[in-house]
Each structure stands twice: as C-alpha cells, then as structure tokens.
Chain A
Amino acid sequence: MTDDASKTTDEGAGGEYERQPVPDKALLGFKSFVGMFAGEHTAGTELMIGPLFVAAGVSAFDFLMGLLVGNLLAVLSWTLFCAPIATRARLTMYYQLEKICGRNLVTIYNLANGVMFTILAGAMITVAATAFGVWFKFRMPGLGDLYPNSLGWIIAVLGVGVFVAIVAAAGYRTVANIANLAAPWMVLMFLAFGIVTFKQFLDATQTSVHSLSDVWTMCKTAIWKGGQPLEGRTKFTFWHVMFFAWFCNMAWHIGMSDLSIFRYAKKSWYGIASGAGMYLGHFLAWICASLLYAYQIHQNPQNTDVLPGPMTYQAVGVAGLICVILASWTTANPTLYRAGLAFQAIMPTFSRFRVTLVLGLIAAVAGMFPAVAMKLLDFVAMWGMVLMPMGAVIFVDFWLMRKFGLQSNYAELSCTVFNWAAGLAWLITMSVCGWLVWTGRIEIYFVSLPGWFVMAILYILFSRLYQKRMA
C-alpha cells in the first residue's frame, strides 16, 4: 500500500504551485513517476498485508488472480480517472477541492485524512516494535489481540514511537534521504524473503520441482491452501482480493489525492507508471510477505501471530530485522509529517513541530494496541471508503456539472466556504456505507464501489437544489 504515506496530502508538502496550475517548465518525464511509485509502494504496510491474506484463508488461484486483476484496475483508475483531470487542471487536489467545496469543507477533509495518517503511523510503530521483540524477547501480541499484553511490548512501542515522533517533527529530510537510500535494497529484500521461504517450503514438503506445474501444485497444497480463515477473520475469495488490491489506494486514485502528483505529468497516460508500484509493491511484495506467514503456519499451525520481526528473522536473519525497522520507520515518518501538516492547517497558530510531536505520541499510544495493525486490511478499506466521496465530487464537477446545466467550481464562484451540496452528500454517503457495513449487509471491501455512485448522484441532485436556492 501506501505507502502511501509519502503522498502529497496537504497544501504545504510540496510547497510549489499550491494555488496555481503547474507551468510547462515544471512538468516531469515518465521515468520520474515510475521511480516514485516503485519506491513508495514497497513499504512497511506490505509486511502486514501479505500475511493477513493468508490468515483470511485465501486460495492460490484467488490470491494470485485477484492481485493481478485488482492491481490492473488500480492502474487503470490512476490512468483513466485521476491523471486526465490532473493533466488538464494541473492543480493540487486540495486547491481543486477548495474551489468546488469551499475552505471549511476542505478543512474537514484534512482532519479526516490527518486522523487516518496518524492511525497508520501507529500501525507502523507496531510493526517496527516486532523487530525489537526478537532481540529483547518480550511477549508480543497475537493475531486476535486488541490490547498490549506485556510490559516489554509497551516499552518497545513507546520507545520506537517517541523516536519516530521526534524525527518526524525535527528531521523529516534525513528520513526522506534514508528512504531513498533504502528503496532499491528494500525491494530486493522482499524478493529475498520470497525466494528463501519458497526454498524452505520445498525442503519442508520434500517437493522437487521439475516444471511450473510442480510449483503450482505446491502453491495450492502447501502455501495458499484456501479453506477456512483463522478465527475472527473474514474468508477471502477472488473478489475480496481483487477489490482490496483495487481499493487499498482508493483515496489516491478514485479519491483523487494523486491529482497533486500527476499535475506534473506531461501526458495523462503517465498514469500507467503506477503499475511499477502496484506490481512491485502490491503484487510481488505482498506475495513474498504472505509466503513468510504461510511458512510459519506450515511449521507450526498453532503459531498464528502476524509478527513481521520474527518472520523475517527466521528467513534472512538480522538483515530481515533491519528491513522491518527501516520499512516501517520510513513509512511512519512521512505519514506523521503529513498528518502534522494536515492538522497544522486546521490550527495554524501551533507550530508544525509541536503538532507533529503530539501526533507522534498519539500514534505511539495507538501503536501499543495491536488491533489496528492486525486489522490493517479493514482499516485500509475504511480509509478508501471515507475519502473516496471527495474524488467522486471532483470527477462529477470536472466532467458532468456543465452537462447538467450546473456550475462547476461553485464555492469559488459563489464565494462560499462550505458547499452544502458536497458536504451533505458526503455525510449521507458515509452514513449509508457505514450502516451497510455495520449491519453486515455488505462487506467493507466492496462498499466503496456502490458508494461512489451514490455520492455522484447525490452530489448532482443536491447541487441542483443548492445552486437554485443560492441563485
């Protein structure tokens, strides 16, 4: 995923062309986007997401085909939804949203985004702490644990959290440099996890591979066996995997956050550069990370703990622990930094340093509770559900409003700070989606697709009423 953390999610992160279209001289080539996506989508989150697919009882065909198709849909969403608007308007998502919805509604969006980023940073602190558990041998939480279960765990998470908070507040640039340094190494480390664990599977099952058919047989019978999920987990089918792979970055493609990135693209087809991130991070890295967990369960079916530290240590030793720490640290830091900026935009009298530090401490406390990390699939799906409606607003406003005889960029034209048509549509869409999920009528992985259409229709209907009334 997302790595998601390094996205420009606020007005201040880039610091350039925040309130004007990107000029031709600042446009970037295709390779810039390939490198950026490849680096950003192989991150600490992948170490949790891969194993959680195995815990969900996914079968080999469902997993691999679901990832292939879902990631393709994600790439198409960037290419056909996000990039065409980005390369035409060349504005940040925030400025474009402000023109449509008004400053106050954008502030609420910022708040929602900031909360999500803080929680994600907490999950990454959890992941990093599992590496220290290998060294210091304290008791770590299991798959079903919601609360911290040992003093050692609390101290480790707090230690990592405070360190991450201080660095995010004071030295973001240093971490960004380390992230750049680690990016190519980290991709190879994920690949190494996969290769080493595959060999261990071959030895453990005493399989000798003579053809691809032998590999496939082992995948089906020993690695991703399907069957019942672990206790308390949802059973994942092809559709679950496909929708998860498609929507785990929903806030960025269909939700349009990456307008801020693709406004620098010379052509809208540069959206296919996202394929580098999807097929390295959300295909290769997820598969390799899932192999680690599948092997752990194969060796000891009672050991269902999803702890990246011990899993990677078992595969490649101390280098694996370094990978866990760096992957989660380099994800948590930009995540916290951007959460800090989001909140600081709401409370401009507080310094970014202080806001980021406080958020970091909140993330550290959240990180003590393993519930978020262990439910990362649900959390990521919820993130998409909450922020996706604003992407529908931008899409409808850009392509459809004038066709319905309505004004686009209405907040800017009418000098309003809160477009009630968008705000109300967002509230109702989230309420309906939340109700559908809460009552078990539809699973969270699927609800965002109908939710997008509900939002689009409501926004058009409410805009008709609102613009008529305001006129």
Chain B
Amino acid sequence: MTKIIIQVISWLSLAVLILLPICFLAGKVSHSQIKTGMLMMTAVWFITASLWMRDRKNT
C-alpha cells in the first residue's frame, strides 16, 4: 500500500511539474512561483521515484 502511495505521489509530482508552466502560459501563476514549484516537484520526483524504482528493481 505504501508503495502505491509513493508511486502516486511521484507521478503526481511530474503532473504538477508540467502543469506549472501551463498555468504560467495561461497567466495564472508568476514566473518566480513556477521556478520554486518546479524545483520542489523535481525534489519530490527524485526522492519518491527512487524509492519505488529501487523497489521494482529488487523484486
């Protein structure tokens, strides 16, 4: 169950990563907001994906 939650979080982080520039294009968020947001989503992706990808490799 934990693994599924981590997997969902990691894919969500990628979804948000690409949604942020789209929101910027639509004028909904500022440039500085997307810079911060993309850095956070990058961190979330690498932390969470490394957990389940490593798990998948071990199995």
Contacts and interface: CB of A to CB of B under 8 A. Distances in A.
Nearest to A191: B18
Nearest to A185: B45
Nearest to B15: A188
A185 B43 CA distance: 11
B38 A319 contact: yes
A195 B25 CA distance: 7
Given A180-B53, A181-B49, A192-B17, A319 B35 contact: yes
Given A185-B17, A188-B14, A195 B24 contact: yes
Contacts, number: 58
B8 interface: no
Contacts of A318: 35, 39
B46 A181 contact: yes
B14 A184 contact: yes
A317 interface: yes
A241 to B, nearest CB: 26
Interface in B28-59: 31, 34-36, 38-39, 41-42, 45-46, 49-50, 53-54, 57
| From B14, B17, B38, residue with most partner A Cβ within 10 Å | B38
B36 A317 contact: yes
A457 interface: no
A195 B21 CA distance: 6
Nearest to B57: A177
Interface range, A side: 10 to 19
A319 B21 contact: no
Given A185-B45, A188-B14, A317 B39 contact: yes
B12 interface: no
A176 to B, nearest CB: 11
Contacts of A185: 14, 17, 42, 45-46, 49
Contacts of A192: 17-18, 20-21, 38
A322 interface: yes
B24 A188 contact: no
A195 B38 contact: no
A198 B24 CA distance: 10
A198 B18 CA distance: 14
B3 to A, nearest CB: 16
A181 B38 contact: no
B53 A322 contact: no
Interface string A299-321: 00000000000000000111100
12 contacts: A181-B50, A185-B14, A189-B17, A192-B20, A192-B38, A195-B25, A196-B24, A199-B24, A316-B38, A318-B39, A319-B35, A319-B41
Interface of B: 14, 17-18, 20-22, 24-25, 31, 34-36, 38-39, 41-42, 45-46, 49-50, 53-54, 57
